Structure 1
Amino acid sequence: MSWSAEWLLSVGLLLPLTAPAQTRITSTRPAMGTPWQISCYTTDTLLAHRAIDSAFARIEAVEQSMSDYRPDSEIRTVSRLPSRQFHLVSADLYRVLTFSRELHRYSQGAFDVTIGQLTKRWRRAIRQQVFPTEVTQGARPQVQGITYRLHPTRGLWLAHDSLHFDLGGVAKGYALDVAGEVLGSFGIHCFLIDGGGDLLLGDAPPDRDGWTIALPDGHLDTANVAIASSGPSYRYLLHDGLRYSHLLDPRTGVGVTHSETVTVFAPTGMLADGLASALSVRIASRVQLMKHYPRMNYIVTPSYQPSPEGAP
C-alpha cells in the first residue's frame, strides 16, 4: 500500500460516520370491521413494506380465527362442534380463551366471552331501537358459571351445544400484539399500530421522547405500551329515559348505562383491551380488580376515543 493510500485510509477512519436517515412508512387497511394503520421508522423501506404486509396478514389470521361475524371463522366453527368433549383449537384461540377465563374469574363475571347470544340480540335491538325483553328470559342463564374448559394440549370443552362466543373485548388487542411481534421479527422496533383507536406502541420515533397520543386533557408522549379504551359509543338504545350501550354487562344481560370511558395502559394489547372492557362494566370495584394486574394503569373520563394525532 502506498503512503498516500495509507494516509487516505487513516483519514477515512477518523471521519465521523453519519447514520442513515430513517424514513417513516405508513399503511392503512381495513381489518376487524375498522380501519387499521401501521407506521414505522426504518432505513430499509422495502423491508418495512414486507414487514407491514406480514403484520396485516397476521391480523387477518386472527380475525379469521375469532370473528363472530364470519360464519366460517374458527370460533364459529368450534361453537357448532359436539359439546362435552375436547376439540383441538389453534394456538391463537387457546391463548385468548386462557386469558379470558382468568379475567372472567378476577372480574367476578364482568368480563365473559360466552355472551354471543346476548350480543346478537342487542345488536338487533339497537338497530330496531326496541328493548330486548327476551334477554333475561333466554340468553342470560347460558352465560353464567363455567361454560367451557381448556386442556393443556390446546383442547376446548364446551358445556352445551348452544354456546356462542363473542371475543370482541379481547381479540383486537391480541391482534395488536401479534402484529407487533411480526414487525419485531423483521428487526423493526420503532412502530405504532392503530387498530381502530386501540394502540400498540414500540420504541420512540427518532429524536423524540415517544409517540404523541391525543388524550382528553392534552397530549402524551409515550412508547413501548399498549393503550385501549372501552365505554359507551354511538351505538346505543334509548328506553324509558335510559341510554343502553352496546357494551353489555354479562351479569345482568343488558347494556351499561353510564357515560364513562375507561382507558388502560398495559404491557400488551390483549391485557389493555380485556381490562378496558372489564373495568367499563365493573364500576364499583375497579380498584379490587386492578390488584390482580399491578403493572397496569387506567384513567376514567367522559366518553372519548384516544388517537395518535400529532404523532411524528
Structure 2
Amino acid sequence: MYRIVLGCVALIFTGCSSTPRTSTATESLSLFSTESIIMGCRSEIRVWSENEQVAFAAMRAAWEGMNKLEMTLSDWNPQAEVAQLNTQRKMKLSPELLTAARTARKLARSTGGAFDFEKGGLFFAWRQYRSKGELLDSVEAQRLAMLPPAHLSADGFAELASGNRWDFGGIGKGMAADLAGDILRTHGCAHFQVDCSGDLLVGEAPHSESGWSIATELKGMMLPVPNNHAIACSGDLHQFVLKDGIRYSHIIDPRDGQAVQNQLLTFVIAPTATAADAWATACSVDPTQIPPKGIRFISPPSDLVP
C-alpha cells in the first residue's frame, strides 16, 4: 500500500519553498505527534494545538480507542471478538461489532459487492496460498466466493456459514481513523491528521482555510483534500504474486473469488476514512465503479506509477 504524506508536514520538515495561507488565529499552534502500531501497521497521529497537555491527552485517548476497536475487529488475535466469532461460528455481538458490521454491510451493498467483509473464508484461503507464492485454485475460489453472508438476528446474534469468516481488513483501518478523529474532536483538537498506513483522515487544516495538500509517494503527484475528509489508496506495490508474466494482486474480487490482475493504483477522497477505505478496495476490484455523491476516485498518470 502506498504511504500518504501530509503536504504541510512535508513542508515543515523538508523546507519546501511553497507557503501556505496563514491567519493570526493559528499562528500560535504547535505540532505534536505520536506513533503506534494499529492493526499490524505503523500509524501516526499529529495534532496542532496551543496546549501540549491537551494535545497529548487527546492522542492518548485516541490510541486507547483504536486499540479497543482492534480488539473488536481483528481476525488474527485469538482474543479479539471477530476472531472468536470466526472460531465459534455463532455468538452474540457487542454493540461495537454490531455497528461495524451494519456499516460494512451498507458499504458492501453500495459497492455492488466489490467490497465485502463477509468473504473472509475466501480471503483467508488466498493469504495461505499467496504466502507460498502460489495461486488459489479457481474452482475453489469460486466456491468460497459463493458462501452466504452471516445471519444476523434481531437480538444481536451472528451465525456464520460453515467455512466462512468475517474479515474487516478492507475497512478496519478506516474505521479506526474515524474513531480517532471523533475522539480528538471531543477533546477540543480540531486540527489533526490520523494516518493509519495509507488511510489518512484530516481535520481542519492548521494554516489554511482551503484544506490540505497531500503529497503521495508518486513523484510530483499532489492531491487537494478538503477539511474533515479522508483519503485512501489501494494498490499492490508490495503484495502480489507474479505468475506467467501476470501480476496477481493481494486484493481479491469478492464476487468471483479471483485475484485482481495487473491492478491499477487508485486514490479515493471521501467524507470519512471508513468510506474511503472501502471504496478504494472496490474501485481497485472494479475500475468501472461510479463514485457516489461526495466521493472522488483519482487514478495517477501511468508515467508516475512504478
How far apart, in 1, do the equivalents of 2:295 and 2:53 lie?
Answer: 36
Aligned to 2:117, the other structure's residue is in SS state: coil
After superposition, residues 190-229 of structure 1 pair within 5 angstroms as: 190-206=191-207, 209-215=210-216, 216=218, 217-222=220-225, 223-229=227-233
Query: Which of these residues, 73, 78, 102, is aligned with residue 71 of structure 1?
Result: 78
| Residue 132 (structure 2) aligned to one of 111, 125, 128 | 128
**Take 1:264 and 1:304, find their aligned partners in 2: how far apart are those partners?**
19
TM value normalised by structure 2 = 0.82
The count of residues paired between Structure 1 and Structure 2 equals: 278
Deviation, structure 1 residue 37: 0.8
Percent identical residues: 30
Q: Partners in 2 of 1:303 and 1:28 — Cα distance? A: 33
Structure-1 residue corresponding to 2:7 = none
Encode CA deviations 1:111-170: one digit per residue, 9 max, x unaligned: 22122222222222222112222x532x542442642233465x1432424321111111
**Partners of 2:160 and 2:44 in 1: CA distance:** 38
Q: Closer, same or farther in 2 for the Cα pair 1:278/1:304, shift >3 Å?
A: farther
User: Residue 112 of structure 1: SS of its match in structure 2?
Assistant: coil
**Quick one: structure 1 residues 19 and 40, their matched pair in 2 at CA, closer, same or farther if it must change by over 3 Å?**
closer
Match of 2:284, SS state, is helix
> CA distance change for structure 1 residues 194 and 242 in 2, over 3 Å: closer, same or farther?
same
Give deviations 1:284-303, integer Å, cap 9, x for gaps: x312xx2xx21111112369
Q: Any idea what SS the aligned residue of 2:28 has?
A: coil
Structure 1 residues 159 and 78 mapped into 2: Cα distance closer, same or farther (>3 Å)? closer
- Mapped partners of 1:237, 1:295: distance in 2: 34
For 1:63 and 1:70, locate their aligned partners in 2 and report how far apart those are by CA, in whole Å.
Answer: 9
Say whether the 8 Å CA contact 1:260–1:303 is kept in structure 2: no
Give distance in 2, aligned partners of 1:211 and 1:106.
28
Q: Once superposed, which parts of structure 1, at least 4 consecutive aligned residues long, lie more than 4 Å away?
A: 17-20, 302-305
Summarize deviations over 1:157-195 as a string: whole Å, max 9, x none.
324243211111111100000000110110101001111
TM alignment of 1:294-305, pairs within 5 A: 294-301=293-300
Q: What does 1:97-176 correspond to in 2, within 5 Å?
A: 97-133=101-137, 136-137=139-140, 140-144=142-146, 146-151=148-153, 155-176=156-177
Uncovered stretches (5+) of structure 2, i.e. residues with no partner: 1-23
Deviations 1:204-226 (A, max 9, x none): 11356433311445324532211
Q: Is the 8 A contact 2:194 2:202 kept in 1?
A: yes
Q: Pairwise CA RMSD of aligned residues?
A: 2.6
Task: State the AA in 2 paired with 1:253.
Answer: G
Deviation at 1:47, TM superposition (A): 1.4
Question: Is it true that 1:239 corresponds to 2:238 in the alignment?
Answer: no
In the aligned structure 2, how far is the partner of 1:304 from the partner of 1:78? Answer: 45
Q: Which residue of 1 aligns with 2:252?
A: 248
**Per-residue deviation, residues 55-112 of structure 1 (Å, max 9, x unmatched):** 01111111111112211210011223354xxx43223322221122222223332222
Between 143-152 and 38-47, the greater mean CA deviation after superposition:
143-152
Contiguous gaps of at least 5 residues in structure 1: 1-16, 306-312
Q: Which amino acid in structure 1 is aligned with residue 191 of structure 2?
A: C
Which amino acid counterpart does residue 261 of structure 1 have in structure 2? Answer: L
The residue type equivalent to 2:276 in the other structure is A
When structure 1 is superposed on structure 2, of 216-225 and 105-114 the one drifting more is 216-225
Over alpha carbons, which structure has the higher Rg?
1
User: Any conservation in 2 of the 1:79–1:162 contact (CA below 8 Å)?
Assistant: no
Change (3 A) 1:132 1:103: same
What is the rounded CA distance, in whole Å, between the counterparts of 1:158 and 1:190 in structure 2? 41
TM-score between both structures, scaled by the size of structure 1: 0.81
Asked if residue 21 in structure 1 is aligned to residue 28 in structure 2, the reply is yes
Indicate the residue corresponding to 1:11 in structure 2: none
